[in-house]
């Protein structure tokens, strides 16, 4: 372009010598000068376009971080819902949002309506029946124990008698094969078995009692905290009406009135593809971002992987569970989250852009620019992050690698589209003067 500019200046100087000529002659000479500038510029641009232009990068040492991306949601693993099957009007509220509670603490009290009273009475009757069953099971246990001990004493007395024991104290095997001895032995064994069965019956009765009490709490006038933690999402107020809820089958259904959040850190569940899941291991570190908190990044680690997976519309996903290192009051269940799970970290690696790696006839190589000349060098690729690749052999730190070549065709096309034959565009402007 500097050459063209100099030529233009020279032509302008020449033009000044013809200003005394007539107007028609000036026009002819001017057109000839313009044509000369355009032809010279075309020749110069053609020579410049024939030289390829290189985009390069320098091989540098650094740390390569390989990661896999998955999307999912914040799970509700660190919170539980406070639910009730009670119906009526709220008359007392014992807690407020942000308050710490322990398991079994009262949350609110309801003045039951007719449906609520009937449901509560039925649940309490079931609880009383379960309690009676437990008491009966305990009484039967005492009876079974007494029978077992009696039968055992009878057996021991007979077994230690002279008829069934030799003078040296050893068992008399022949006598102990008689029906009289075997009957006594079987009576004791049967009594012992019944005693053990009754012990299991008590455990079963106790479980039924616990279940009946939990059912009663769901329909009782007082709503209780199911776990220990911090109350959140409590929207009740005195005078609020709780309507009876029923399921599609017609049975009573629970309704949520609040949440209780524990001190556990939040859990993130992300879906991995069948290609990515083999690369992820328990304990892999991860960075997590959330759409609701765009300015914050959280860290965590993979604590579990569901290798059974789920299939939806022919696509298989494998949920991975990530525990955050720290919690935040701004994180709520079911928020959208994206996790970058770090699967490999390579220190002191020679790194180049992955786009610079070429493969031809099964050989991997890169183009190296040295002293203005480009040569191909075979390389061995290690780990890759998608944007950067580790080179384990073939080049050294500081080598200049060609990442892209701007071809002559591209340069010529660009020159033609930006240059006017009358001196506009990249070539500048040549303006004739006149008298």
DSSP 177-222: GSHHHHHHHHHHHHHHHHHHHHHHHHHHHHHHHHHHHHHHHHHSSE
What pLDDT is recorded for position 254?
86
What pLDDT is recorded for position 4?
56
45 pLDDT more than 80:
no
What pLDDT is recorded for position 11?
61
429 pLDDT more than 50:
no
Mean pLDDT, to the nearest integer, of 25-50?
A: 66
* Higher pLDDT pick, 417 / 297: 297
What pLDDT is recorded for position 93?
95
430 pLDDT more than 70:
no
pLDDT tens sequence across 167-197: 888 888 888 888 888 999 999 999 999 999 9
Angle at 120 between CA 118 and CA 125, to 5 degrees: 95
What pLDDT is recorded for position 418?
40
* Higher pLDDT pick, 14 / 166: 166
Mean pLDDT, to the nearest integer, of 264-269?
A: 88
pLDDT tens sequence across 282-313: 999 999 999 999 999 999 999 999 999 889 88
Averaged pLDDT score across all residues of the chain: 84
* Higher pLDDT pick, 26 / 395: 395
Of the pLDDT bands very low, low, confident and very high (cuts 50, 70, 90), residue 405 is: confident
**Of the ranges 120-134, 163-177, 396-410, which is most confident?**
120-134
Q: Residue 363: exposed, middle, or buried by beta-carbon count in 10 A (0-12, 13-18, 19+)?
A: exposed
221 pLDDT more than 90:
yes
Of 392, 399, 393, 289, residue with least CA distance to 64? 392
Q: In the chain, pLDDT over 90 holds for what percent of residues? A: 49
140 pLDDT more than 90:
yes
C-alpha to C-alpha distance for 377 and 374, rounded to whole angstroms: 10
Mean pLDDT, to the nearest integer, of 350-374?
A: 89
26 pLDDT more than 70:
no
14 pLDDT more than 70:
no
What pLDDT is recorded for position 290?
93
Of the pLDDT bands very low, low, confident and very high (cuts 50, 70, 90), residue 434 is: very low
C-alpha to C-alpha distance for 358 and 350, rounded to whole angstroms: 17
Residue ranges covered by each domain of the chain: 2-52+410-418, 55-62+347-406, 79-260
Domain 55-62+347-406 CATH (choose: 3.40.50.11810, 2.40.420.20, 1.20.1640.10, 1.10.3720.10): 2.40.420.20
Return the CATH number of the domain spanning residue range 79-260. 1.10.287
What pLDDT is recorded for position 251?
77
The pair of structure tokens assigned to 388 is 């950067």
Of the pLDDT bands very low, low, confident and very high (cuts 50, 70, 90), residue 25 is: low
Cα 414 to its chain centre, rounded Å, is 47
């Amino acid at each position: 372009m500097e050459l063209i500019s100099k030529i233009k200046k020279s032509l302008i100087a020449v033009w000044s010598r013809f200003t005394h000529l007539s107007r028609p002659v000036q026009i002819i000479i001017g057109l000839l000068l313009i044509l000369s500038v355009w032809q010279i510029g075309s020749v110069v641009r053609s020579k410049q376009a024939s030289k390829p232009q290189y985009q390069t990068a320098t091989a540098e040492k650094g740390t390569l971080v390989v990661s896999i991306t998955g999307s999912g949601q914040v799970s509700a693993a660190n919170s539980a819902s406070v639910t009730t099957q009670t119906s009526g009007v709220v008359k007392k509220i014992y807690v407020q949002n942000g308050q710490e509670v322990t398991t079994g603490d009262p949350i609110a009290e309801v003045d039951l309506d007719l449906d609520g009273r009937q449901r509560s009475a039925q649940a309490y009757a079931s609880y009383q029946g379960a309690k009676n069953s437990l008491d009966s099971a305990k009484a039967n246990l005492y009876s079974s124990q007494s029978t077992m001990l009696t039968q055992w004493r009878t057996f021991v007395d007979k077994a230690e008698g002279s008829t069934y024991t030799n003078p040296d104290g050893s068992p008399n095997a022949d006598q102990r094969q008689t029906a009289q001895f075997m009957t006594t032995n079987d009576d004791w064994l049967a009594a012992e078995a019944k005693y053990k069965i009754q012990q299991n019956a008590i455990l079963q009765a106790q479980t039924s009692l616990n279940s009946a009490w939990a059912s009663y709490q769901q329909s009782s006038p007082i709503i209780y905290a199911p776990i220990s933690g911090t109350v959140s999402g409590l929207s009740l107020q005195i005078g609020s009406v709780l309507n009876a809820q029923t399921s599609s089958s017609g049975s009573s259904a629970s309704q949520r009135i609040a949440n209780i959040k524990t001190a556990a850190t939040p859990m993130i569940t992300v879906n991995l593809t069948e290609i990515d899941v083999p690369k992820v291991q328990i304990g892999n570190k991860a960075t997590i971002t959330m759409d609701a908190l765009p300015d914050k990044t959280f860290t965590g680690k993979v604590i579990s992987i569901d290798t059974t997976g789920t299939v939806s519309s022919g696509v298989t996903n494998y949920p991975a569970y990530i525990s955050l290192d720290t919690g935040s009051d701004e994180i709520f269940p079911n928020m959208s989250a994206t996790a970058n799970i770090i699967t490999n970290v390579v220190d002191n690696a020679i790194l180049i852009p992955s786009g610079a790696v070429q493969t031809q006839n099964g050989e991997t190589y890169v183009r190296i620019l040295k002293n203005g000349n480009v040569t191909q060098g075979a390389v061995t690729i290690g780990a890759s992050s998608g944007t950067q690749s580790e080179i384990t052999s073939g080049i050294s730190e500081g080598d200049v690698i060609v990442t892209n070549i701007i071809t002559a065709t591209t340069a010529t096309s660009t020159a033609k589209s930006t240059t006017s034959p009358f001196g506009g565009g990249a070539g500048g402007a040549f303006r004739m003067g006149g008298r």
